Chains A and B, each alone.
Chain A
Amino acid sequence: MARKDLLDIASLHREEIEFLLDQSTSFKKLFTHSVKKIPALEGKSVLMLFYEASTRTHSSFEVAAKRLSAEVTNFDVAHSSITKGESVRETIETLQAMRTDYIVVRHSHSGLPGMIARQTTASVINAGDGAHEHPTQALLDAFTIKEKFPDPRGKKVLIIGDILHSRVARSTSTLLQKLGVEVAYLGPGSLVPKYVPATIPRFTNYEAAMAWAPDVVYLLRVQLERQDVQFFPNVREYHRVYGITTARLAEIRDRGLYIMHPGPVNRGVELCDAVMDYERSLITNQVENGISIRMAVLDWLTPGGEFPRQESYAAPQRASSTVIMP
């Protein structure tokens, strides 16, 4: 089951997911040792290609790669030719010539990591593409949930917030469903589109969502920067209607629910300050687990494969695109 790239959760098989979660457990045990580094990727190079700002994901990948003894290079997008108008396609050719083994890419364009993967021999890891997927986030979320619920089947996760723009919602929901976890959404009508998968119930108000009896409340970051036209009137109203207010936190504590958030948190919007000290908040666990999951992913992927054809730019045909004969 060797794979060159990790681009999405949708195409991952259950066995692959279980394997990665198991590997992550082993890697996490290393963290308690005084020497946290192993030589698994010695002599290999990892290139960090982040076109979007990122603190957690970027540093998490960097730490993970270094703990596996890989060389890490940051492709400095802000100071590169990209600001001179070089297209991503041209950048990929440059990267291909550098013969890097792994490319960790984040970009605001959905599907862009897949395009890179088709045109390079390096293993490409999607670190978030537009509103499409964020597979390592989903894996670390599942890992974090499994630490609390070793058999997560039948457990319920309520995801609250901006479903429309969230790659986390897509990837994490897909992965949790593959593990037998039930998922439901709650959020403003303008941010929870009516065409989300039919297998995911959608609640329109907080009380109804709580009556569904979730085990975990997963809050999404409100992405104010993605709102070309307003999706809700203001953050105060958002907090009152969809946020974890102090009163709601008390109820959550009574019920013993876990709270998760992919970060960075908008305090006073998705959640009130007190959530940060809530004993069942898993937010820092998520950060910690990000490293071992990313180590498992880097260790698992196999760079190489057929060198892409250089004589033309013809994108290889995808299986899904063949003309269907009537």
Chain B
Amino acid sequence: MLLLQNARIAAENSPELVESDVLIVEGIIQQIGTSLAIPEGARVIDARGRVLMPGMFDAHVHFRAPGFENKETITTGSEAAINGGITGVVMMPNTRPALDSATAIATVLDNARHRARIPVYTSGCVTKNREGKELAEIEGMHRLGVIMLTDDGDTTADPAVLLRAMQYATEFGMFFASHCEVPELAGPRALNEGVMSYRLGIKGSPACAEEIIIDRDIRLARAAGAHVHIQHVSSKLGMETIRWWKSRGDVKVTAEVAPHHLMFTDEHIGDYDTNYKMNPPLRTQADCDALLEGLKEGVFDLIATDHAPHTPFEKAQDFISAPNGITGLDTALVSLHHFFVEPGKFGWDLVVKRYSAEPRRLMGLPVPTIEVGQQAECVLFDTEAETTFTKEFMKSKSQNTPFINQTLKGRVDLVILGTEILLER
């Protein structure tokens, strides 16, 4: 039995936080109200001033296993999620071997059941080994619960292959998550083409390389009657393209935005800082502003980190050699608070809707809420405290984040899942 007193409860459809006591008995929220009586034997936590919200859900993470366990494992990745107030994730299939068959999926899901304290889901590849040629074992993966198909890390380059896959997989109720870039235009380097790429002397990837595929894949989905989910949108025109298609209403399209694309621009790369290197790349302030607008407007259904761990050795290479990607699970919720909620750019209702509820709806999962009768799946967040993201604080195996050794406002104090307290600070 756990009694949280005077917590400020956040919900996706309530702009205001509601102060209440919450009593959790055997993992179920049993009572919500003011001045609840303290039951015999209950543990009492004074939550005054702190925000109680449902556990977050990240629909785009790289846990690197199998194949790259030196970067991350399902255990360290899921612990990083818990550390950041996230109680469910969807892994991307760009492992080695890639998750393109029922066998590979079965192994990973079995691992996840034994090694993670939170539900860990996985997507599957569209094509074998993400090569964009032969179709992956789509129905075999679906049988094991996979509903998201993606060649994330790359675009399925051949539109004919993707169209076929869409026609085929839609019959099973599966949907497609698209990493968007024309390979010939993007080139091998994750860096926005513009003033910064010129200054750094590295061939840049123009925003149109991403926008063309966003548009292409939505058109393909429309032609196939499929649902396409656009991953990690980084540009203004990309956002506007999705907005336009959504306004037409004749194709099922959803989209996500990553925290780093809302917060940083290519200027932050400064003197070749590889902790700002990811794909799609950071673009300009105008893009950041447009993405924020798109998030508030609902063009983006969800926030997802694209948590992409790499070893310190790999990231200490020069900017061109260092791999793409930054970690995000340990830092996402605190950084969203620091950059947006605290300065009043959006409220906790948006965070709950876009980072807890909608990603679960995308995955066809039940949505946890702080309501009587619900399973307890919640996070207690202190908006006044600070978090310093030291190497020791981070639970991810890798620390390739711009927030390394930075202090941000906000702290995840408590993470509860059913009868278990996953984290207490």
What residues make up the interface of A, taking CB atoms closer than 8 Å to B? Answer: 87-89, 107, 109-112, 114-115, 119, 129-133, 164, 167, 170, 193, 195-196, 228-229, 312-315, 317-323, 326
Q: Which residue of B lies closest to A312 (CB)?
A: B312
Q: How many Å from the CB of A185 to the closest CB on chain B?
A: 12
| A318 cross-chain contacts in B, Cβ below 8 A | 270-271, 273
> Can you spell out 13 A-B residue pairs with CB atoms less than 8 angstroms apart?
A109-B321, A114-B271, A115-B318, A131-B202, A167-B201, A170-B201, A313-B316, A315-B274, A317-B404, A318-B273, A320-B270, A322-B406, A326-B339
Please state if B320 and A109 are interface contacts (CB–CB under 8 Å): yes
Q: How many Å from the CB of B197 to the closest CB on chain A?
A: 8
Q: How many Å from the CB of B285 to the closest CB on chain A?
A: 11
Q: Kindly state the separation between the CA atoms of A131 and B339 in the bound complex, as whole angstroms.
A: 35
Q: Kindly state the separation between the CA atoms of A164 and B199 in the bound complex, as whole angstroms.
A: 10
Question: Contact flags (1/0) for B302-328 with A, using CB distance below 8 Å?
Answer: 000000000011011111110000000
* B: interface residue count bin: 35 or more
- With known contacts A312-B312, A323-B402, A87–B321 Cβ distance under 8 A: yes
Please state if B405 and A114 are interface contacts (CB–CB under 8 Å): no
Please state if A195 and B318 are interface contacts (CB–CB under 8 Å): no
Please state if B317 and A115 are interface contacts (CB–CB under 8 Å): yes
Q: How many Å from the CB of B328 to the closest CB on chain A?
A: 14
Main secondary structure on chain A at its contact with chain B? loop
**Residue B38, interface by CB 8 Å:** no
Q: How many Å from the CB of A196 to the closest CB on chain B?
A: 6
Please state if A109 and B275 are interface contacts (CB–CB under 8 Å): no
Q: Kindly state the separation between the CA atoms of A251 and B371 in the bound complex, as whole angstroms.
A: 85
- With known contacts A131-B201, A317-B405, A110–B275 Cβ distance under 8 A: no
| B271 cross-chain contacts in A, Cβ below 8 A | 111, 114, 318, 320-321
Please state if B320 and A111 are interface contacts (CB–CB under 8 Å): yes
The answer, among B272, B315, B404, for a CB contact under 8 Å with A111, is B272
Q: How many Å from the CB of A310 to the closest CB on chain B?
A: 12
Most chain A beta-carbon neighbours within 10 Å: one of B274, B321, B399: B321
Please state if B270 and A88 are interface contacts (CB–CB under 8 Å): no
Please state if A110 and B202 are interface contacts (CB–CB under 8 Å): yes
Please state if B315 and A315 are interface contacts (CB–CB under 8 Å): yes
Please state if B312 and A313 are interface contacts (CB–CB under 8 Å): yes
- Cβ < 8 Å to A, chain B residues 371-413: 391, 399, 402-406, 408
Q: Which residue of A lies closest to B317 (CB)?
A: A89
- With known contacts A87-B317, A318-B273, A111–B198 Cβ distance under 8 A: no
Which 8 interchain pairs have the tightest Cβ spacing? A320-B270, A132-B201, A131-B201, A111-B272, A110-B201, A112-B318, A313-B316, A313-B312
Please state if B201 and A129 are interface contacts (CB–CB under 8 Å): yes
**Residue B343, interface by CB 8 Å:** yes
Please state if A110 and B200 are interface contacts (CB–CB under 8 Å): yes
Q: Which residue of A lies closest to B191 (CB)?
A: A110
**Residue B195, interface by CB 8 Å:** yes
Q: Kindly state the separation between the CA atoms of A318 and B268 in the bound complex, as whole angstroms.
A: 10
**Residue B294, interface by CB 8 Å:** no
**Residue B276, interface by CB 8 Å:** yes
Q: Kindly state the separation between the CA atoms of A229 and B202 in the bound complex, as whole angstroms.
A: 15
Most chain B beta-carbon neighbours within 10 Å: one of A107, A164, A167, A318: A318
- With known contacts A109-B319, A313-B313, A314-B316, A323–B200 Cβ distance under 8 A: no
Please state if B408 and A110 are interface contacts (CB–CB under 8 Å): no
Please state if A111 and B200 are interface contacts (CB–CB under 8 Å): yes
Q: How many Å from the CB of B304 to the closest CB on chain A?
A: 21
| A129 cross-chain contacts in B, Cβ below 8 A | 201
Please state if B198 and A195 are interface contacts (CB–CB under 8 Å): yes
With A112-B318, A130-B320 given, name 13 new contacts (CB 8 A): A88-B317, A89-B316, A109-B319, A111-B201, A111-B318, A115-B316, A131-B203, A193-B198, A195-B198, A228-B187, A312-B312, A317-B273, A321-B275
- With known contacts A318-B270, A318-B273, A323-B408, A195–B339 Cβ distance under 8 A: no
